[in-house]
Amino acid sequence: MTDTPPVGGQPAAPQPPANLPAPPVDAPEGPPARLWDRMRADPQYAPEHLALEAVRRLGPEGAQWAARARADQPGVSADVLADQAARKFLNLARLSGAVSGAAGLPGAVLDVGVLAWTQARMVLHIAAVYDVDPLHPDRATDLLVLQRVHKVAESARLALGVAAGRERADALFGLGGQRPLGHVMLRLGVRLAQMAGVRAAKRMVAKIVPGAAIVLGTWANSSATKDLAERSRALYRPRGAAVPEPRHR
């Protein structure tokens, strides 16, 4: 049996394999501008707004990264991929404190916002390597519990519902309101620092005090992110799976 000749005598274009993972999503390195606007307008629910946006914007990236990593490393275990994801974002977390280049309170808020966003990316990547859907709305709940904004999933879901409702109301009616910028930035910074870890909160305060940030350096970011990676692996690793031996450095 012969192949059907191409139409018009032109050779048919080669078709890519159907199971080839999609190209990576171009995810932002830090919170997008519209998210910053939303968090400034509603600083009380800043972690919830960040978690909702992270799942929308970063979930596809996590899924595609996991698919490509498996395609590039046939037979690799999920634990190995989770370790690769943790190392990748640990390195980014170490750099996040220098992203803004700004001093004082605005720079501190930018730093902890970028750190919280980087940590959310890492959690969604780790979820994906354990075949947990990083685009599912429940991942926003996971983020808030893993990042210790809420102690239990029930309270996280309630807060996410409030934040989502405020997003819709603001889109319809523009209810952001006008409040003193300094008060808003301080409240926003505290909430984001809480999301990024207790040490990140100390680092934010240190950056506001000239010279004090040198003492903390990048250790605070990396330590909080490393702890978060361990909690994420514990949550998403299948029950009954063997826990890998800790690596000695």
Band of residue 20 on the pLDDT scale cut at 50, 70, 90: very low
Say if residues 51 and 160 touch (Cβ distance below 8 Å). Answer: yes
Alpha-carbon separation of residue 13 from 6, 7, 10, 19, 49 (angstroms): 10, 11, 9, 18, 45
For 43, 179, 211, 240, the CA distances from 183, given in Å and listed in that order, are 10, 8, 23, 48
CA 165 to chain centre: 22
Q: What are the pLDDT digits (tens) for 96-146?
A: 655 544 556 677 788 888 889 999 999 999 999 999 999 999 999 999 999
Helix and strand tally (H, E) in the chain? Answer: 10, 0
The per-residue pLDDT for range 193-202, each reduced to its tens digit, is 888 885 555 5
For residue 217, the surrounding DSSP H or E stretch is none
CA-CA distances (angstroms) from residue 18 to 12, 14, 15, 21, 63? 17, 12, 8, 9, 17
57, 135 Cβ separation under 8 angstroms: no
Write out the DSSP string of 16-54.
Answer: PPTTPPPPPP---SS--HHHHHHHHH-GGGHHHHHHHHH
Q: What is the mean pLDDT of residues 82-86?
A: 97
- Mean pLDDT along residues 230-245: 81
Is it the case that residue 249 has pLDDT exceeding 50?
Answer: no
The span from the first CA to the last CA of the chain, in angstroms, equals 61
Model pLDDT for residues 66-81, shown as the tens digit of each residue? 999 999 999 999 999 9
Q: pLDDT, tens digit, for every residue of 164-188?
A: 988 877 665 554 554 555 667 778 8
Summarize the confidence of residues 233-247 as an average pLDDT: 73
11 or 141: which carries more pLDDT confidence?
141
pLDDT at 187: 80
- Output phi, psi for 179, to 5 deg: -130, 160
Ramachandran angles phi, psi of 210, nearest 5°: -55, 130
Mean pLDDT of 85-105: 73
Work out the percent of the chain whose per-residue pLDDT is above 90.
48
